[in-house]
Amino acid sequence: MLTIKQITEDTEKVILGLEKKNFKNPKEALEKVIEVNNKRKDAQTQLDNNLAEVKSLSKEIGQLMKEGKKEEATEIRNKVASMKDGNKALEDEMNDATRELNELLSNIPNVPHESVPEGNSAEDNKVERMGGKNPDLPADAIPHWELAKKYDLIDFELGVKITGAGFPVYKGKGARLQRALINFFLDEARDAGYLEIEPPYVVNAASGFGTGQLPDKEGQMYHATADDLYLIPTAEVPVTNIYRDVILNEKELPIKNCAYSACFRREAGSYGKDVRGLNRLHQFNKVEIVRIDTPEHSYESLKEMIAHVEGLVNKLGLPYRILRLCGGDMSFTSAITFDFEVYSAAQKRWLEVSSVSNFESYQANRLMCRYRSDNKKTELCHTLNGSALALPRIVAALLENNQTPEGIKIPEALVPYCGFDIID
């Protein structure tokens, strides 16, 4: 979440940033934050002064008792007792103001970086660059859900029987292709210096709050109410929370982690043709890369992460484009986001396969993830993450773009992982 320092020292900048994210009534929201924070500070100051006075009076009582001045000592003791009652009220007032302040701050989104373009929706995103070449498909090319049925790779109906829509069953070479992609992505991340983590697939509410899924996206997460645990929407959540309430040494940064996990998303309100087949699922596989860095270096880390994801789609031979998201299409927590989309030739549409984001200090403030600099000063870290990569739409594009009369060709980079070079 935003820091009080940001809000009080750069109020106008924060207001303009929140307006770029289409946040309603930012000025009023910040004024309320400042009002409640002043209330908290006033109560804290008065409490600190009273506690200092109580300490001083307590010493005076001891001295008076030594001098045999019991009546004077009793009078001061009564005053101290009255002050302690007042201190309890001040403490309650301060705690109430702190809770209200945290609630207000947790419902205000991150401020976008100055390079984020204006805009309200995906139509306003800026294409940074494009790469790869669109395949020349045969006239009878078919979409991936038909290819999956033709070659017995994915059974969508069986998934409906076992669980429900959006939970496909992968079979034979379809399952092997999933495993091949996961291992390929993890090996590429390892070679790029990322330490592999195998995280839990369920997290507590504190972890969901730390990375910003709660309270903003509570309705999109699967909630195990009996234990108050949440199925993860991405490995970002457990991996970034490794560093919750941790003070790192500056020499340890940047920290580079990667993790494979299943991801679970309710995708409430998603209907229509855009959710056909693998286009939108409730459960899917993904490899995530996460970085913890200093503010001075985090944008260099962002460039490196973008280059890493771009290298993956190039090795898979997929046509792609990189989008710089506009303010209105960014996530609640992000300061800047670049989306990767691959072209699905049979569907004739672009499919998002990765988002690479810098959250600056927004997540770190919620997590209390800090580092101690060389001058021993403690500061908030910057956090970053990206999909490297999400499997479903990658698989959709691979199946569609590589279909031939003989079968579906496997990209050269994946052949050692698959153990076959064609699906026939």
Cβ distance 142 to 350 under 8 Å? no
Q: How far apart are CA 161 and CA 167, in angstroms?
A: 10
Q: Tokens standing for 199?
A: 């995280």
Does 198 carry a binding-site annotation? Answer: no
Q: Tokens standing for 86?
A: 């007042």
**Closest by alpha carbon to 4, among 95, 94, 108, 113?**
108
Does 288 carry a binding-site annotation? Answer: yes
Q: Tokens standing for 338?
A: 């670049």
Does 366 carry a binding-site annotation? Answer: no
Does 266 carry a binding-site annotation? Answer: yes
Does 385 carry a binding-site annotation? Answer: yes
Does 160 carry a binding-site annotation? Answer: no
Does 365 carry a binding-site annotation? Answer: no
> Residue ranges of the alpha helices (H) in 261-331?
298-315
Q: In what order do the strands lie in the sheet with 202-204?
A: 202-204, 229-231, 223-224
Classify 260 as helix, strand or coil: strand
**Closest by alpha carbon to 240, among 333, 307, 178?**
333
Does 252 carry a binding-site annotation? Answer: no
Does 56 carry a binding-site annotation? Answer: no
Q: Tokens standing for 352?
A: 């998002």
Does 261 carry a binding-site annotation? Answer: no
How far is residue 362 from each of residues 67, 113, 220, 314, 330, measured CA to CA in Å?
58, 12, 21, 32, 14
Binding site feature residues for L-serine? 234, 265, 288, 385
Binding site feature residues for ATP? 265-267, 352-355
Binding site feature residues? 234, 265-267, 288, 352-355, 385
